[in-house]
Amino acid sequence: MFLNFLRNIPLIQCLVAFPWVSHKAAFPKFLILLLISTSPVLLAALLSPIPIGENPLPEKLLSMLQQNISVSEQFVYAASFLAPTLFLIFERYRDVESNDAVSKFNEATKVYKGYVWVFFFSVFILLLTVSAFSAIKTDYPLFQNTFLHHLLSSGAIYNDGFSLYSRYLSIVQSIGPRGNYVSETRAEEAGLAKSFKKRIKDREATNG
């Protein structure tokens, strides 16, 4: 009952679309990626002086993390972590045998349930960060006073969090439903061998 409820919630439904064994196999890979990619920002926040004020310590740490994620760094995170997810839909769209673009897109977004939400959020964040990165690189003087700069600066943790979430989905999807490529390959080979033997017996029975 509870899982059925989660399967109808956007973004969360993507996580429950995969069995537990896939998450178990994907999590160690994602943890290593998480530690490597976030360690510079985390260390910079931990080594920063504690801000003056009466706010709780976790809130101050969260504020420092947000300040240490620049707008240009958000583009790097988005391009690195969202690209594998977007490439999944591109591969499926390319492989769908149909001349109708809408039908091809609908079939391509069946990588896992809720993939459409992830796809559109990924494209939206990429467009925002690409625009901001371009403005910074061209020394656009008024960019820091724009709504876009404020949006990305105040939502840095959320943007990077979604990018990491999207990267995790691409990892767990690549694991396969059982999370064991060797087992899947052996099972497929066994199925082919069994089918081949059955065809031989059927042919012998027909000829006999």
* pTM assigned to the model: 0.70
The 10 Å Cβ neighbour count of residue 82 is 24
Helix (H, G, I), strand (E, B) or coil at 11: coil
* Longest CA pairwise span in the chain (Å): 92
Q: Does an H or E element contain 193, and which?
A: helix 181-207
In whole angstroms, give the CA distance from residue 21 to residue 132. 39
pLDDT per residue, tens digit, the chain (208 aa), is: 676 777 777 778 888 878 888 888 899 999 998 888 888 888 888 888 888 877 888 888 888 888 778 888 888 888 888 888 888 777 777 777 777 777 777 776 666 667 778 888 889 999 988 888 888 877 777 787 888 888 888 888 888 889 899 889 888 888 765 444 344 444 555 565 566 566 666 666 666 5
